[in-house]
Amino acid sequence: MSRWLISMAAAITHVNRAIFQLTLWLMAVVVPVMLYEVIARYVFNAPTVWAMELAVLLFGPYFLLGGPYLLHLRGHVALDVLRQRLSARWNRRLDLINYPVIVAFCAILLYFSAPAAWSAYQYGETSFSAWNPPIWPAKAAVPIALVLMLLQALADFVVLLLAPETLPAAAHEVLE
């Protein structure tokens, strides 16, 4: 049973890594769009109506969809000053509390964000700007990212439970 759980945790992490690597390419769109906007605005005095909005609509999913893999890498904001002073055993205990809190937080946010994203899709919600693009894809990124974050927190929690108490870092290496 534990091998199956470790395999599932590894699969979740691999999916989140792949999504993370795909979302990195959104910056390959955002940077040239912003460069174009700056040149159009300040060199030619001809700003666009779409560039800033497109950058915002792409940066949101970039930020959200990269979060689950960042959780696995332990790249989120943490109390490192405190954690550095604690033993591996106490860090593990904190993680055993932290991951269920993350799961609960994601579940609550998912409960509220999924209907909003679905409603935006059903009604064809737009930004009501001069460009007026549909915004349901950006809104859909929120519940998708929350599901991925919830699954990653569960995966890391399972690995933490099944790993030896003295080697919490080794548990994460299994998934990489």
Helices within the chain (DSSP H only) = 2-23, 27-42, 51-72, 80-85, 88-123, 136-162, 168-174
Q: Which sign does the torsion angle of CA 18, 109, 107, 137 carry?
A: negative
Domain that holds residue 6: 2-174
Q: Considering its fold, how many domains does the chain have in total?
A: 1
- pLDDT tens sequence for the chain (176 residues): 678 888 899 899 999 999 999 999 999 999 999 999 999 999 999 999 999 999 999 999 999 999 999 988 887 776 677 778 888 888 888 889 999 999 999 999 999 999 999 999 999 999 999 999 999 999 999 999 999 999 999 999 998 888 654 334 444 444 44
The reported pTM is 0.84
